[in-house]
Structure 1
Amino acid sequence: MGNMGRRGAVALGVTGLVAPLTLALGAAPAQAASCTAQAGPYQKQVEKFLGRPVDGRQSAADCRAIQAFQNRHGITPAIGYAGPVTWGVMDLMNKQKAVGDKPNKDGRCPVNKGRIACVNLTLQLSWIQDGSRLVYGPVPVRTGRDGFETRTGLKKIYWRDLHHVSSVYNVPMPYSQFFDGGQAFHSVGLSMWNPPGSHGCVNMTTTAAKKYWSLLRTGDDVFVYGRKPGT
C-alpha cells in the first residue's frame, strides 16, 4: 500500500495548485507583473503552437499567452518563459494529435489477446482495443515520473475499486483498476500534461476513467510499453 500512499501525495498536490491559480487568474496586474520579458530557447516553437506571430521575440501578449498555458497545465514557474518544460508539453501534444485514430499503427500492443488496455508511455496515450479493432481512445494519460515509472510489460487487471481511497493520505482515487501492485488506472483532478507525472499510476480524466471502468473487467489484459519523456 506504500506506493498507493505516495501517489496520494500527488493528488494532495492538487490543493496546492488551486490557490495560486485562483490568485493568478483573479489578479491581472499581479499576473502581468510576474511576466518575464526574456525570450526563451523555444520561443519560436511556442509562438507557433499558440498561434502567436512567430518572430522569436518576447512580447507582453506572448508572455500572457504562454503564462495562461502554463497555469492551465500546472507548469511552474508560470512566468511566461518559453523554456524546455513548456515546449516539452506542447511537443507531446503535437505528437499525440498526430496519432489520430491509429494508436497501434506500429503493432506494439498485442492484437491476439482480445480486449486489452494499451499504454504507450512514450506518447503518454492509452486506448482499449479488441484484437486489432479500436474500442476506445486514444486518450492522453499521466504516468509515472522519473524514479516512480509506470512498469512496462503485459499485466492483468486484478482488482477494481470504484471509490478507492489511499490508505496513507486518505486521498480519493476514483475508478481505480489495479494491474501491477499499487499501479492502477484512476481519475485525477489534474491536467494530463501536468509535469513531472504520477508516482506510478496511469492518471486519467474523469471521463476517460469512467469509460475504462465501463469497458474493462477483472482479468482483462493491460500492456504497458515505451518510455515516458524525462525518465
Structure 2
Amino acid sequence: MGDIRRRGAVALGVAALVTPVILAVGAGTAQAAPSCTTKAGPYQKQVEKFLGRPVDGKQSTADCKAIQAFQTKHGISPNVGYAGPVTWGVMDLMNKQKAVGKNPNKDGKCPVNKGRIACVNLTLQLSWIQDGSKLVYGPVPVRTGRDGYETRTGLKKIYWRDIDHVSTIYNVPMPYSQFFDGGQAFHSVGVSMWNPPGSHGCVNMTKTDAKAYWSLLRNGDDVFVYGRKPGT
C-alpha cells in the first residue's frame, strides 16, 4: 500500500508537462507563422535593443520578423511580433539570468553547509548544484510552476528517482525524474526553458541538464527551493 500511495503522489508531477500544443513549437514542429503586426508594442525599444535591432521605438517589417522568430522559438503566443509584456518579460529574465554569471549563490540564500545540495531560485528561474562552497554544476535555466501550481519552497530531499518515468495518468514521458516533494521533481522536457507560463509544479530542465543532475544527485540529497516565480 505504501508503494501505491507513493506512486499516486508521484503521478501528480506529470502536470508539469500538460501544456497547450502550441507550446511545443520549439521542439521542431513546422507551423505556419501568422501575419506580422505593424503596431509598435509598449516595450518596443527594450525588445529592439535585446534583439540587436535599431532602437527607434518604431515597428518595421524586420523588427516584427525578429520578434516573431523569438516568440516562436520560446512558445510565446500569439507569435505575431508584438513587443508586449510577456515577450519583454522573457527577455528581461534572460538578461537577469546572464548577469548572475558563475556566482548564483551570491545572496547566500541557498544553504551550503549541508554538503551536496541542489538549489532552485524561483525568482531568477535558475538551478545549480553545490557541494559546500564549491559550485559543482550550473547555474542553468529551469521552468518551474505557473500561477496556481507553484513549485513549493523550502528544504527537501530527493526521495525517488526514475530515469524512464512515464505518467500512468496522462501517458506522458518524464525522463530523468528525481522527486523531492510529493509529485514535484526535476525532469527534462522538450520545450524552451522560457516557455510561458510554466509547469504545473515540477522543475523542468533541458535533457542535457537533467542528465547531469541525474549523474550528480542521489536519493537523500538535499534540495532547497526559494524565491517567487515572476507572474505568480
- Name the TM tier (shorter chain): over 0.9
Identity %: 79
The one-letter amino acid paired with 1:75 is I
Write the distance in 2 (CA, Å) between the matches of 1:58 and 1:154. Answer: 47
Decide whether the 8 Å contact of 2:24 with 2:75 is kept in 1: no
Write the distance in 2 (CA, Å) between the matches of 1:74 and 1:168. Answer: 25
Decide whether the 8 Å contact of 2:145 with 2:201 is kept in 1: yes
Write the distance in 1 (CA, Å) between the matches of 2:86 and 2:108. Answer: 30
SS at match of 2:77: coil
Deviation at 1:136, TM superposition (A): 0.2
- Give the TM-score, by structure 2 length: 0.92
The one-letter amino acid paired with 1:22 is A
- Give the TM-score, by structure 1 length: 0.92
2:7 equivalent to 1:6: no
Report the counterpart of residue 65 of structure 1 in structure 2.
66
Report the counterpart of residue 200 of structure 1 in structure 2.
201
Report the counterpart of residue 124 of structure 1 in structure 2.
125
SS at match of 1:213: helix
Report the counterpart of residue 4 of structure 2 in structure 1.
none
Report the counterpart of residue 28 of structure 1 in structure 2.
none
Decide whether the 8 Å contact of 2:27 with 2:191 is kept in 1: no
Relative to its length, the structure with more helix (as a share) is: 1
Deviation at 1:230, TM superposition (A): 0.1
Report the counterpart of residue 95 of structure 2 in structure 1.
94
Report the counterpart of residue 51 of structure 1 in structure 2.
52
Report the counterpart of residue 27 of structure 1 in structure 2.
none
User: Aligned ranges for residues 46-195 of structure 1 at < 5 Å?
Assistant: 46-195=47-196
Deviation at 1:8, TM superposition (A): 4.0
**Structure 2 residues not aligned, in runs of 5+:** 1-7
User: Aligned ranges for residues 206-225 of structure 1 at < 5 Å?
Assistant: 206-225=207-226
Corresponding pairs, count:
223
Deviation at 1:137, TM superposition (A): 0.1
The one-letter amino acid paired with 1:6 is A
C-alpha spacing 1:46/1:105, structure 2 compared with 1 (3 Å): same
Deviation at 1:166, TM superposition (A): 0.9
Decide whether the 8 Å contact of 2:23 with 2:76 is kept in 1: no
Decide whether the 8 Å contact of 2:118 with 2:128 is kept in 1: yes
Deviations 1:22-68 (A, max 9, x none): 123xxxxxx4x610000000000000000000000000000000000
The RMSD of aligned alpha carbons is: 1.7
SS at match of 1:22: coil
Write the distance in 1 (CA, Å) between the matches of 2:185 and 2:115. Answer: 20
Deviation at 1:113, TM superposition (A): 0.5
Decide whether the 8 Å contact of 1:118 with 1:127 is kept in 2: yes
Deviations 1:173-196 (A, max 9, x none): 000000000000000000000000
Decide whether the 8 Å contact of 2:125 with 2:141 is kept in 1: yes
C-alpha spacing 1:206/1:36, structure 2 compared with 1 (3 Å): same
C-alpha spacing 1:14/1:214, structure 2 compared with 1 (3 Å): farther
SS at match of 1:23: coil
Write the distance in 2 (CA, Å) between the matches of 1:19 and 1:120. Answer: 25
C-alpha spacing 1:100/1:157, structure 2 compared with 1 (3 Å): same
The one-letter amino acid paired with 2:188 is S
Deviations 1:178-217 (A, max 9, x none): 0000000000000000000000000000000000000000
SS at match of 1:90: helix
Decide whether the 8 Å contact of 1:123 with 1:228 is kept in 2: yes
**Structure 1 residues not aligned, in runs of 5+:** 25-30
Deviation at 1:21, TM superposition (A): 5.1
Point out 4+ residue stretches in structure 1 off by more than 4 angstroms: 18-21
Decide whether the 8 Å contact of 1:39 with 1:57 is kept in 2: yes
